[in-house]
Structure 1
Amino acid sequence: MMDALLDLTAQMTREGIRRLLVLSGDEAWTLQQAQALRERLGGDGLWVGSDPVSAPCVAPGALKTLLGREVMHAFFDARRGCDVAALAALSGTLRAGSWLVLLTPPFADWPTRADEDSLRWSDTPDPIVTPNFVHRCCRQFIADPEVLLWQQSDRPRFPLAAPRPDWHPADGHPQAEQALILEQLLRLPPGIAAVTAERGRGKSALAGMLLRQLEGEAIVTAPTRSAVEVLASFAGEAFRFMAPDALLASQETAAWLIVDEAASIPAPLLRQLVSRFPRTLLTTTVQGYEGTGRGFLLKFCASLPRLQSFSLSAPIRWAAGCPLESAIRQLLIFNDEAFRDAPTGEVVLEAVNQSCWQSQPALPEAMYQLLSGAHYRTSPLDLRRMMDAPGQAFRCARASGAVAGALWLVAEGGLSPELSRAVWAGFRRPRGNLVAQSLAAHGGSPLAATLSGLRVSRIAVHPARQRDGLGQKMIASIAADAAGYDYLSVSFGYTPELWRFWQRCGFILVRLGTHREAAAAAIPRWLCSR
């Protein structure tokens, strides 16, 4: 086993690819095999898990401290819970020739195991089982011939590993795509440019190359200082960083503003920043763990005047067709198939249950893609909630079989009179129940949280059908069918356009927030219908 694995690792290094290795079995067996692999593979052998082992190791929630760095081989412990955002982030740090070793329970037992990570997204007091997500993992790992699957009950199944061309890593000079974009950026008239790409395509390196060649002064900003290490390494002495809030509060000016991972900065804050500089370059990951997506282009970039858009498609840090990248993209739905074709024809509304993830997964996948595109802060955590969290309800608008609209609702309220009174008095804040708790705490009614409601969590309509009234039709269908519920509600960051939409849907204002939310930099409003 080990000799064959080392031979395959050498081949992967020559070909510039990474792969997923799944270790499935009981805790003692998987730990024993992982430790043996860690010793034989060498490299960094970074361990990511809630239970620390020998260094280097990091908890999933702390993985962001390592972003901007590269790792050779990593181990992800998902035996007690799976933080999919951390898994996706880890995959993006791995160098060409690396393995991502994933430890899981036995496939037969895994669907009935409570997932400790569910405490972050399920709004339940105890961990829950997550059968829809687990069955998706098992199906993919078994079906993907590029995954090395090693189950305790069976012999290791090696990838077919057909020979690929030798890969030559980047030498620090602009690659073909980068050179073309760099030439245009250096001639950019006053205005805004956006460079989007998947992870590993060299967009941060491109920004650093631009910074090094600019004649005037430039300021770099990003969600965190650690996120711009790659950019800084290419920029050299020209690199000058300021945090977004500090930059906005200052009077600093420059010929250029460069914003790395722009979609992770609240849109209103980003809009204020770009308005202060004659030229701005925005770079962002179109798909990935941060929750950025096509919506950044559809929503934010589409509103900018004089915008020039560029994209990088060829990977630089690894070879094209990397099996690990393909596996993570498929597992976490980092793709845009729902946007490829415009849905045409008559629209049919239908309810979609979480069980569809197993019976007809293509339908909820398309709905998630649409929701991700419309709400560019959607993250893999939302995918897990959509799959397995209790109290979720969904509606779909389909035209000729294609998804034209998606609606995601969450059941709230129904608290006991005692708990509702405690919420009203400010003694208790049970998880979830966003609007129900607000009605009790701010509405002056001790029993308000005993009422049962449905809250609109997300709504999205395909861009090609956004003037057809589909959003209102989906809301109307829920309002007509919401038997057993006392009210329908929504909480949203205020914009005039959204305010008009919810008014047309028949909602009335019950509360206006007093503080801007960090995520949206907008004042939240609570609306209720019925």
Structure 2
Amino acid sequence: MTLADLVVALRTEAERANERRLLTLAGDRECGLDAARDALATLDDPDATVLTTREGVGTHPDGADRLLGTTQTAVVLDCHDGFSANVLGRVVGAVDGGGLLVLVTPPLDAWSGSEYADERLAVPPFTAADVTGHFRRRLADTIRAHPGAAVVDVDAGTVEHDGLTDPPPARSHTPPSVPADATFPPDAYEACLTADQADALSALERLRDGAAVVVEADRGRGKSAAAGLAAGSLAAAGRDVLVTAPAYRNAAEVFERAEALLTTLGTLDGRADDHTLTATGGGRVRFLAPDEAGCLPDDPDAVVVDEAAALPVRRLTAFLDAPAVAFVTTVHGYEGTGRGFDVRFRDHLAESDRDVVDARLDDPIRYAAGDPVEVWAFRALLLDARPAADQLVADATPADATYRALDAAALTADEHLLREAFGLLVLAHYRTEPDDLARLLDAPNLDCRALTVDGHVAAVALLAREGGLSESRRTAMYEGARVRGNMLPDVLTSQLRDLEAGRPVGYRVLRIATHHAVRSTGFGSRLLADCHDEFGDAVDWFGVGYGATPRLVRFWERNGYRTVHCSTTRNATSGEYSAIMLRPTSDAGEALHDRHTRRFRARIRDGLSDALDDLAPDVARAVLRATDGAPPPSLTDHEWRVVAAAAFGPGLYDAAPGAFRDLALASLLDPDGSLDDRQERLLVRKPLQAGDWETVADDLNYVSTRQCMRALGAAYRPLVERFGTDAAEEERRRYGSD
């Protein structure tokens, strides 16, 4: 069979079944690209997309991003130098039913070799020679083994596997209909392509009543289109609809469908800007990034959160303050999974006072159910990876678990182990990408450890080796150069100006996840303790950087980690400030920890009234309390008299605000602090963050500013007694306080 014959045969059966086919052209790169051009000529498709590494799609996937939301009859992806699993994941979804996905690859037997190693995984001080090929070997194996995947050896000019499956003809979709009680325009339902999509649109009508609507589906089912039709219907009725997503490209389909519907209805007034549609009745559909949208600016009537599972719980919870909200999310996918959404957010949703309406779309729109290319992509990129079933670990205790290394060889040899471990890692973070699977299997700086119960993964940790950098690399980092895979040394060096921070070697805990069936029972702490025992003598420090919440800070503090930095900007997606914590294990690690602890204490005093003036008080309390070695406050005798007079007599806070700030900081850094939670929040909001009295009183639920002022004075009394000098004691006694 010639290549032309194979292409015709693949295309013919793909069109008959409304499925897609995968064609792999393996061998020399130029021969592969020539063969791809011949294949496209056979298809007679001048609009087919060819993505090559010369366009930079391996490291800069803009070309692949342009395909999001589009449909193609054929896409060619060059998988030679700069190959990226992220790009492959994006490209797969762009091929329409009846179309071909063409991969131009090295020889499949040689693809895992060092000459094809992904240099992006060579984190300094490692080199490309240290990158393994397990991911690429696994990818090649799935291509060879999967139905609907043809393989051509372009060097030999032979068809290794024709990929033909002789499928039955495609079944037509169940046509949608307009519900008898529909309140959205009939044109919206007539724009639906499946009955599933119409059912989802009907569920989204409940946004008119203030409900929280959850729409879940795999990719290609039309969930974003249904959300767009709902947004257009609401805007046509004069409603203000705020749309948010991790990036505008995620929500582009929402806007396209909303605009098309408003045009059909004759109510489109225009685009106020690139991200805003206006309707003639005063309604609109507008996009804002999650950090802006979380404040609900201009009081929208409804919010649509697309790719909701890609956002953290804190951000999602904020949207429950909207009059109505729709969470549109992917069940299986790397921009967040529906399973993660369920585990992390459903309890918050259930505890709200909202009526919750669920809708799920199962029927693919652009290709038939069971499409072999979709099934292959799910397997090859572990898009449907999930943890072990609850009942397999639910009754276990940390003492029942076995600590074990999950090296790449073990993971690739045991598909169930790989799926369980990676499924937990996907749930541990709201943004996990296909490239993370390649890193897990091939990156030389990563180590994976787990606790297993009867062979099933109950907890997993991914550790990244950082530091140990040469003097020249440390100097370059200090002068602004970025060094891959060394996040903690990078921050400590480039931002905090420590030229020696990259010298000690450490392990950063990149991810840690516990199965939700045994969460909060000690598995995470047991796993960390075992990692510390195994690696502690080989490195100088353990560290972690994460979006700070009080619960997470307390977890890391309990496990021996101490705060050395709090970022001064919020993460644009999570909306959280990041904490960096260290756990030293050697003299070099102690020195690194101690000097950054001192510097953190010195800068946080003023930072809280500047860049961190909106840091949540409970987060501030947690990160400060998790800092080692707080010295006593250093106030002059005069300052002590002012503070003592304000606490016990007629003194004024405004007479020495710096002294009140120093004493507040000393109290919050003190592990034996005696104030209650509300008093500590008051110390954060007023003396440290310098909030005005009215705002602070309102934030902390005081009935008046006068009551708030009295409460602050009362909060300082035990501080004067604990830290005060003879001058403070003399002033205190002046007002009859014994």
TM-score, length-normalised on structure 1? 0.90
Where do residues 77-476 of structure 1 align in structure 2 (5 Å cutoff)?
77-115=78-116, 117-119=118-120, 122=123, 127=128, 129-152=131-154, 153=156, 154-168=158-172, 172-173=191-192, 175-187=194-206, 189-214=209-234, 215=237, 217-223=239-245, 224-235=247-258, 236-237=261-262, 240-244=285-289, 247=293, 251-265=297-311, 268-272=314-318, 274-292=319-337, 294-304=339-349, 305=352, 306=354, 307-344=356-393, 345=396, 346-417=400-471, 419-420=473-474, 423=477, 426=479, 429-440=482-493, 446-476=499-529
Distance 1:102 1:124, change over 3 A: farther
Distance 1:48 1:222, change over 3 A: farther
What one-letter code is carried by the residue in structure 2 that aligns with 1:231? V
What one-letter code is carried by the residue in structure 1 that aligns with 2:304? I
User: How many Å apart are 1:124 and its aligned residue?
Assistant: 6.6
**Whole-angstrom distance in 1 between the partners of 2:60 and 2:571:** 27
Contact 1:216 1:254 in 2 (8 A): no
What one-letter code is carried by the residue in structure 1 that aligns with 2:566? L
What one-letter code is carried by the residue in structure 2 that aligns with 1:105? P
**Whole-angstrom distance in 1 between the partners of 2:322 and 2:405:** 48
Secondary structure of 1:406's counterpart equals strand
Residues 365-374 or 354-363, more deviating: 354-363
Q: Are 1:17 and 2:22 an aligned pair?
A: no
**Whole-angstrom distance in 1 between the partners of 2:476 and 2:370:** 56
**Whole-angstrom distance in 2 between the partners of 1:217 and 1:33:** 53
Secondary structure of 1:109's counterpart equals coil
Distance 1:179 1:428, change over 3 A: closer
Distance 1:234 1:358, change over 3 A: closer
**Whole-angstrom distance in 2 between the partners of 1:174 and 1:138:** 35
Contact 2:460 2:514 in 1 (8 A): yes
**Whole-angstrom distance in 2 between the partners of 1:461 and 1:393:** 17
**Whole-angstrom distance in 1 between the partners of 2:572 and 2:122:** 19
**Whole-angstrom distance in 2 between the partners of 1:231 and 1:388:** 37
Residues 225-234 or 331-340, more deviating: 225-234
**Whole-angstrom distance in 2 between the partners of 1:124 and 1:25:** 32
Residues 312-321 or 357-366, more deviating: 357-366
Residues 298-307 or 8-17, more deviating: 298-307
**Whole-angstrom distance in 1 between the partners of 2:572 and 2:475:** 29
Contact 1:412 1:453 in 2 (8 A): yes
Partner of 2:48: 45
Where relative contact order (Cα < 8 A, 6+ residues apart) is larger, the structure is 1
Secondary structure of 1:96's counterpart equals strand
Mind listing any 5+ residue stretches in structure 2 that lack a counterpart? 176-189, 263-267, 269-276, 278-284, 585-738
Whichever of the two has the greater Rg, that structure is: 2
User: How many Å apart are 1:288 and its aligned residue?
Assistant: 2.7
Secondary structure of 1:111's counterpart equals coil
**Whole-angstrom distance in 1 between the partners of 2:545 and 2:60:** 32
Contact 2:387 2:457 in 1 (8 A): yes
Partner of 2:5: 3
CA offsets, 1:17-61, max 9 Å, x none? 1111111011232122111001111333101122259xxxx9733
Contact 1:258 1:280 in 2 (8 A): yes
Distance 1:266 1:121, change over 3 A: farther
User: How many Å apart are 1:395 and its aligned residue?
Assistant: 0.8
**Whole-angstrom distance in 2 between the partners of 1:498 and 1:49:** 43
Contact 1:121 1:381 in 2 (8 A): no
Partner of 2:638: none
Distance 1:402 1:426, change over 3 A: same
Secondary structure of 1:355's counterpart equals helix
Residues 130-139 or 227-236, more deviating: 227-236
CA offsets, 1:271-323, max 9 Å, x none? 44x24521111212233343555323322444332344432222122110001
User: How many Å apart are 1:412 and its aligned residue?
Assistant: 1.2
Contact 1:405 1:470 in 2 (8 A): yes
Contact 1:291 1:378 in 2 (8 A): yes
Secondary structure of 1:12's counterpart equals helix
Partner of 2:571: 517
**Whole-angstrom distance in 1 between the partners of 2:302 and 2:492:** 47
Secondary structure of 1:166's counterpart equals coil
Partner of 1:502: 556
**Whole-angstrom distance in 2 between the partners of 1:437 and 1:390:** 19
Distance 1:42 1:228, change over 3 A: farther
Partner of 1:479: 532
Q: CA RMSD in A?
A: 2.9
Distance 1:526 1:143, change over 3 A: same
CA offsets, 1:354-389, max 9 Å, x none? 222443343233211111022121111211111111
**Whole-angstrom distance in 2 between the partners of 1:518 and 1:26:** 42
Contact 2:53 2:79 in 1 (8 A): no
Distance 1:93 1:160, change over 3 A: closer
Contact 2:307 2:336 in 1 (8 A): no
CA offsets, 1:97-121, max 9 Å, x none? 0100001011232222444754278
Partner of 1:493: 547
What one-letter code is carried by the residue in structure 1 that aligns with 2:230? L
Contact 1:436 1:453 in 2 (8 A): no
Contact 1:50 1:60 in 2 (8 A): no
**Whole-angstrom distance in 1 between the partners of 2:419 and 2:450:** 12
- Overall identity of the aligned pairs, in %: 30
Distance 1:111 1:351, change over 3 A: same
Distance 1:242 1:519, change over 3 A: closer
Mind listing any 5+ residue stretches in structure 1 that lack a counterpart? none
**Whole-angstrom distance in 2 between the partners of 1:460 and 1:248:** 26
Distance 1:477 1:167, change over 3 A: same
Contact 1:293 1:377 in 2 (8 A): no
User: How many Å apart are 1:496 and its aligned residue?
Assistant: 0.9
Residues 201-210 or 261-270, more deviating: 261-270
